[in-house]
Amino acid sequence: MHQPTVPLCVDLDGTLIHGDLLLETCVALLRKNPLYLFALPWWLLHGKAYLKAQIASRVLLNHAALPFHQELLQWLNDEKRDGRHIWLCTASNHRLAEAVASHLQLFDGVLASSDTQNLSGRQKADMLVAKFGSRAFDYCGNDRVDLHVWSVSRGGVVVNADIGLEQRAREVTDVYRTFTSHRSTARAIWAALRPHQWAKNVLLFVPLAAAHRVLDFSAQANALLSFVAFCLCASSVYVLNDMLDVEADRQHPRKSTRPFASGVLPLSTGFVLIPLLLLTSAGLSMLLPGPFRLALATYYLLTLAYTLGIKKIVIIDVICLAGLYTIRIVAGAMAVAVPLSLWLLLFSLFLFLSLALVKRFAELKVMQHDGKLEAAGRGYRLDDLGLLESLGTGAGYMCVLVLALYINNPAVENLYRRPELLWALCPLLLYWVSRVWVLSHRGQMHDDPVMFALRDRVSLVLGALAALVIFTAA
């Protein structure tokens, strides 16, 4: 059993918090200026302690929003109330460690990496022995490198470790408390890919249907392959976006549960997922026509630009979102080698501009409900609500107008046996656009209107009716 008179030394990365402050600050630095990517290897050549110091001196983290291990934190507070001395002992830079300690008001002291010495493994063990004496302190850690410290500690607390590490810790010290993680890494990775967002890539099949080639097996195979390539490409950017937005997401009522923001998935996993997903997507695209690869590359670069900065530029961000949806349709046409319809592109652009504005409008509605003046990580403010509503409804009705002009086009008579039936699409679309904005105005809209449409019963019924109209007209 532990003794209250024996000081308890607590690790920070992966123990007190779910995650690693070096990666957290590295991502924050790259979010601040991506060009720092070229400075990181140079700093690392001077040693890991120097790297940590250079990064820590250039970033300012919101320590209150870090993903703390709440169960461990509660236990530490109980130990503190029992009169135990608790020290924060971490390989993180001293600037960051002292900021965390200042926020928690829990620790009696801090031992951390200086600008020249990396306090990890044997170095940490030697410093703790010099400070408290051999077998005169307890240590709370989570990694194999902590075995060096446990081997000279009186007792140990093991956090979020696998069975193998826990057994090795028991061989070198008296492990009297464990904190086991019940979180599934595989499930967290799956969630980080945002598979529910893949439904948006169904737009790749629109040109196939519009060209009346649904029964063409070869075209179907190409369309399906393009769908998979787009899903993997999009997921690589979703992972990057969640990593860069991790601090802002922690302040969002819903996004705070995302794998990286909540700490369920370490940022190190993201650095593996991004290139793996992107390379797999690129490999699949090699099986498709060259123009598709160009469309996929354009989509990736535009999505990357959106993630790195465009999303913070008012109005440009929603135009970019509308363009990303439209590129999916372009890519679908390239994959099955059918000519692009200007009517389809115009319709898509106005429709998805309206939905992008719904997305921003809904986010501001959430901020309004929470009493915040502006959306974190965005350039919009609460007094923009009225303007966004006007722009969004206008764009929505423009897509209805484009549809009507298309139906009135004489060329439509060559594609459909009963083209006059297509006029029924206009009131259906007019009702759906109006309903989406009414729900948004009332604060009842999910902040992603496309996903809302895929789950909303009324939207699904309207979609089925529209499909019936088109089938009958054909």
Q: Give me the pLDDT at residue 182, please.
A: 67
Which of 275-279, 288-292, 407-411 is the least confident region? 407-411
CA proximity to 111, closest of 88, 143, 135, 137: 88
**Confidence band (pLDDT; 50, 70, 90) for 265?**
confident
In this structure, of 304-313, 320-329, 460-469, the range with the lowest mean pLDDT score is 304-313
Residues in Cβ contact with 110 at an 8 Å cutoff, skipping those fewer than 6 apart: 87, 88, 89, 90, 94, 97, 98, 101
Between the two ends of the chain, the Cα-to-Cα distance in Å is 79
Main-chain phi, psi angles of 52, to 5 degrees: -60, -40
Domains for the chain: give ranges and CATH numbers: 8-182 (3.40.50.1000), 184-340 (1.10.357.140), 380-474 (no CATH)
- pLDDT tens across 138-168, in order? 999 999 999 999 999 999 999 988 888 999 9
Residue count of the chain: 474
The pLDDT assigned to 246 comes to 85
Res 411: pLDDT: 79
- 3 state DSSP class of 381: strand
Q: Which amino acid is at 87?
A: W
Asked if the model's pLDDT at residue 88 lies above 80, the reply is yes
CA–CA separation, 332 and 345 (whole Å) = 12
Q: Classify the phi-psi angles of 159: left when phi > 0, otherwise alpha if psi is within -120 to 50, otherwise beta.
A: beta
Cα dihedral 400, 403, 326, 205 in deg (nearest 10): 120
State yes or no: pLDDT of 1 exceeds 80: no
What does the pLDDT read at residue 215? 79
Q: What pLDDT is recorded for position 358?
A: 93
Q: Phi-psi category of 335—alpha, beta or left, where left has phi over 0 and alpha has psi -120 to 50?
A: alpha
Better pLDDT: 414 or 188: 188
What is the pTM for the complete model shown? 0.80
Q: Would you place residue 372 in the very low, low, confident or very high pLDDT band (cuts 50, 70, 90)?
A: low
pLDDT at res. 8: 95
* Furthest CA-CA distance within the chain: 91
pLDDT at 375: 54
Q: pLDDT band at residue 341, thresholds of 50, 70 and 90? A: confident
Per-residue pLDDT at 21 exceeds 60: yes
Q: Residue 245 above 70 pLDDT?
A: yes
Percent of the chain residues past pLDDT 90, beyond the cut: 61
The pLDDT tens digits of the residues spanning 171-229 come to 999 999 999 876 678 888 999 999 988 988 999 998 888 777 877 888 899 999 999 99
The 3-state secondary structure of 24-58 reads: HHHHHHHHHCHHHHHHHHHHHHCCHHHHHHHHHCC
- Give the pLDDT band of residue 471 (cuts 50, 70, 90): confident
The residue among 184, 101, 182, 178 whose CA lies nearest residue 140 is 178
Residue 452: per-residue pLDDT: 85
Query: What is the model's pLDDT at position 4?
Result: 63
Mean pLDDT of 301-322: 89
Q: What average pLDDT score do residues 299-303 get? A: 94
